[in-house]
Structure 1
Amino acid sequence: MRTAEQRAFAEAVDDFCGRHAGTREQRDLLSDNGARAHNHELYAACARLGWLGAGLPEAYGGVGGGMTETVIFAERIAYGLAPLGGFVTTMVAVGPYLTFGGDEQRKTVVSGAVNGAVEAISMSEPGAGSDVAAVRCRAEAVAGGYVINGQKTWCSNAQIADHILLVARTSWTVGERHAGLTMFCVPAGTEGLTVRDIPTMGGRDICDLFFTNCFLPAGAVVGTVDRAWPQLMAGLNSERLILAATMLGRAKRTFDDTLAYVTDRRQFGRPIGSFQALRHRLADLATEIACADLLVYDVVAKVDAEPARQLPREASMAKLKATETAKKVAIEGMQMMGGYGYATEFDMESHLRATIVSTVYGGTSEIQRDIIGHSYGL
């Protein structure tokens, strides 16, 4: 159950998105015709309103809310199609700094996030995706710090981030595949780091990272050396719920766009939504979205009640349900819109692109199902 204040927050975000990104023309101007998912000026406006820190501690300039406030903001900007894609990676990256980072790291990164800085997190490599234990990007201890060599890939928003939270290998332990990984805070522009865009069907917000004799001081370590794996596990609630909330908002927007189309579009002398074939489809989709909403906010409430508790089963369920539902709504929406759903003139084709990839990043649907199955002893 969301409080009156939380509902008012959601309404304020909806109003903001409607005024600044309510038309296709506005969104095209803000996003370079859809090529970029983040607009710094719009993000700065949200920072001035205090919204970026709605779920962050007051000690670092935040409002002091919880996961609920973070999730509400993520959901509503996704519904409003506002190009504020940096929020998701920033909130995911900020978590480890809050829990494991040093005082200076928290002051720099968390306070920066409240004030509009974008953060990124880099785990994947060409040979290490779902299997994080396969990370090979090497961090070699030297006098005063570490030298990083290797390649990372599929890093969202690295090209606009103030810092990249890097997961690299610092040691090898026979029989313990997940041991020997360490988190590092890598400031943008660090010598020896090269960032390159990866063009995708969703735009140019994903990057390859190349580290060539990149020196990081010892103070760049986030948390404990060789302990990145348990640190990552501690943050899964946050990552999966933020991703789930984003796709929940997108699913709701896709449904509403579809409903508007089938209500307005007429064939054989009547609105096409009045035909049973479409009416029943919409009824099923509405039910699935309602289920996803209840699941996501139920898990969020559990996290706010016990912030230190890990909920791998529940968080994976929320991510799985929200992303798969969003993808289904987009596929069905495109089918119901016919050729218009495929045309770039309408938002439906962008809904499809955004939702299909959501079942891949942040842990694929197959990985989420594995986690859920293992939680039952299977």
Structure 2
Amino acid sequence: MGTRLSVEQQDFTAALRDFAARECGSREQRERLSKDGSTAHDPDVYRKLADLGWLGVCVPQEYGGAGGGITEACLFLEETSHGMVPSGGFVTTAIVAKAYERFGTHAQKERVLRATVNGAVASIAMSEPEAGSDVGALRCRAERHPDGGWLVNGHKTWISNAHLAETILLVARTSPDKHHGLTMFDVPADTPGISVRPIETMGGSEVNDVYLTDVRLPAEAVVGDVDRGWGQLMAGLDHERLFLASSMLGLARRAFDDALSHVKVREQFGSPVGSFQAIRHRLADLATEIECVRLLVREVAADCEAAPERRSSREASMAKLKATEVAKRTALEGMQMMGGYGYATEYDMERHLRSAVVSTVYGGTSEIQREIIGHALGL
């Protein structure tokens, strides 16, 4: 497969583009659906995606999904990001669904995977005030209760889509060992003792503080094995980073397209600004960089599908690093080429920049990705 798409995959991307053009092809539509750029998720649009069967793109058929692979999920993320479809809940939901698919019980899969297909949003709660890049330092604690269940107390922060989620995949400490004392828990978002408070950011309200106060969970809430959460998390990081890379590839393409359209019609000194060598060469460089990202993302996705049992940490980190840095550069260059128009909220470029800048932080910072790649090189 590699970088070449099958006929079915080409039809899928074409259908996604048609959907994006129809549902949010105009500036007015995008402003309404995103509440003037303050949210990346619209429930009505998300429901339409569910009705088309696309939210289950990589969910096994036995749980109501389409049974597609990682490549199809990446194509969905790339095209919805490029089309500015307000389906921001999908990234975390896809990450969580993959974790349940690997480690969940049959009952957990039935509930979470089928809900995913039908349009439910899921969130994963890892980061804490003192445990960001160093996930192994988390303190949120789950203690065994005399009835055989668990009692959870702690504070999670920067949790994407927790305010939308029906399910939260919680990572908590169950024993003192830094890396061998973590456990995943299946937590319905409406469980008593959970409080979700939005964190206002320059990108709107997409992340949250999640407080857990004497939260009672049954014994069967464990996802996978007790004290094996670290290994389970590591097994899913390749897909997480690849999904984020795909989303940022779509954003980079969109920022590039918007900049290119502008410089073709904007005139200064009697000529379109795109005819000036300084602008023309910038766009040539960006087009080359974006094409490199596309080839890398597609190839890593194909590798993950060809050998699902093999870790692709180096390659996934490269994809995440390259895609997010290129998206940030493209949006910054786009704003520069558009001048004041790029800074104005009347145009999409300032929103592209807000979305791109934070992508080099979440899902593992660019610095962490470079560390992973460096270690893989034996350094």
CA shift for structure 1 position 71: 0.5
**C-alpha distance in 2 between matches for 1:29 and 1:252:** 23
Q: Which residue is equivalent to 2:213? A: 212
**C-alpha distance in 2 between matches for 1:10 and 1:180:** 42
| 1:200-349 alignment runs, 5 A limit | 200-349=201-350
Cα shift readout 1:136-177 (whole Å, capped 9, x = no counterpart)? 00101112311111100000000110110010001113xxx2
CA shift for structure 1 position 11: 0.6
Cα shift readout 1:268-288 (whole Å, capped 9, x = no counterpart)? 000000000000000000000
Cα shift readout 1:52-105 (whole Å, capped 9, x = no counterpart)? 111221011111110011000000000000110001010011111000000010
Please say if 1:136 is aligned against 2:134: no
CA shift for structure 1 position 308: 1.9
Please say if 1:69 is aligned against 2:72: yes
**C-alpha distance in 2 between matches for 1:317 and 1:234:** 17
Cα shift readout 1:95-144 (whole Å, capped 9, x = no counterpart)? 11000000010010011101111000010000000001110001011123
**C-alpha distance in 2 between matches for 1:2 and 1:307:** 19
Please say if 1:157 is aligned against 2:161: yes
Contact 2:120 2:165 in 1 (8 A): yes
- Give every structure 1 segment of 4 or more consecutive aligned residues whose post-TM-superposition deviation is greater than 3 Å: none
Contact 2:162 2:207 in 1 (8 A): yes
Please say if 1:15 is aligned against 2:18: yes
Contact 2:59 2:97 in 1 (8 A): no
Q: Which residue is equivalent to 1:5? A: 8
SS in 1 for 2:305: helix
Name the count of aligned residue pairs: 375
**C-alpha distance in 1 between matches for 2:164 and 2:207:** 10
Cα shift readout 1:184-224 (whole Å, capped 9, x = no counterpart)? 11101110110000000001111000011111111111000
SS in 2 for 1:159: coil
Paired residue type of 2:57: A
**C-alpha distance in 1 between matches for 2:346 and 2:179:** 47
**C-alpha distance in 2 between matches for 1:277 and 1:33:** 33
Using the size of structure 2 for normalisation, the TM-score is: 0.98
Please, which runs of 5 or more residues in structure 2 have no aligned partner?
A: none
**C-alpha distance in 2 between matches for 1:28 and 1:61:** 33
CA shift for structure 1 position 27: 1.2
Please say if 1:98 is aligned against 2:97: no
Cα shift readout 1:13-53 (whole Å, capped 9, x = no counterpart)? 00001100111111121121111111111111111111111
| 1:109-148 alignment runs, 5 A limit | 109-142=112-145, 143-148=147-152
Please say if 1:41 is aligned against 2:44: yes
Paired residue type of 2:104: G
CA shift for structure 1 position 324: 0.4
Using the size of structure 1 for normalisation, the TM-score is: 0.98
Q: Which residue is equivalent to 1:25? A: 28
**C-alpha distance in 1 between matches for 2:327 and 2:369:** 16
SS in 2 for 1:184: strand
Please, which runs of 5 or more residues in structure 1 have no aligned partner?
A: none
Please say if 1:88 is aligned against 2:80: no
**C-alpha distance in 1 between matches for 2:154 and 2:122:** 21
SS in 1 for 2:115: helix
Sequence identity, in percent? 60
Paired residue type of 1:125: E
